């Protein structure tokens, strides 16, 4: 009778001390840019149909040079602030407001469940 209210998938804000951890497979193209591999379906019957049709099992999500660097740095050992600091050093003036941009980037990835966050006080 009543619809279930689901919690929002997107974190309202990402703490600078949070540590992003990747949840997707990924590869690099010839230019060194990262693309993420997201399964088209988790349903076994749909997977079988996709394979039978000779199609690729994954969506390829291409990242720009900033996204590529942030993704590569999200190895589970650096915080959002640490990633922003490395990117500030590498890109300098090309990257406006790196702390906010990196936090927004990871919030967007988290909303699609491409990353999860670990807080520094959480056990590994």
HEC secondary structure over 54-106: CCCCEEEEECCHHHHHHHHHCECCCCHHHHHHHHHHHHHHHCCCHHHHHHHHH
3: pLDDT strictly greater than 60: no
Kindly report the pTM of this predicted structure.
Answer: 0.78
Separation of alpha carbons 33 and 28, rounded Å: 5
Domain borders along the chain are 22-113
67: pLDDT strictly greater than 90: yes
Confidence of residue 4 (pLDDT cuts 50, 70, 90): low
pLDDT score at 16: 86
Arithmetic mean of pLDDT over the chain: 85
pLDDT tens-digit readout, 6-59: 545 555 578 888 999 999 899 999 999 999 988 887 888 888 888 888 888 888
pLDDT score at 118: 84
Q: With residue 81 as reference, give the H or E element that holds it.
A: helix 80-91
pLDDT score at 44: 86
Q: What is the CATH number of domain 22-113?
A: 1.10.10
116: pLDDT strictly greater than 70: yes
75: pLDDT strictly greater than 70: yes
């Amino acid at each position: 009778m009543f619809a279930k209210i689901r919690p929002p998938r997107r974190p309202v804000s990402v703490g600078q001390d949070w540590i992003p951890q990747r949840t997707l497979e990924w590869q690099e193209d010839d230019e060194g840019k990262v693309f993420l591999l997201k399964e088209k379906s988790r349903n076994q019957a749909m997977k079988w149909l996709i394979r039978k049709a000779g199609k690729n099992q994954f969506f390829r999500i291409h990242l720009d040079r900033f996204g590529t660097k942030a993704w590569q740095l999200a190895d589970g050992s650096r915080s959002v602030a640490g990633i922003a600091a490395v990117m500030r050093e590498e890109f300098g003036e090309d990257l406006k407001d790196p702390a906010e941009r990196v936090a927004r980037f990871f919030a967007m990835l988290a909303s699609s469940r491409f990353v999860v966050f670990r807080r520094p006080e959480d056990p590994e």
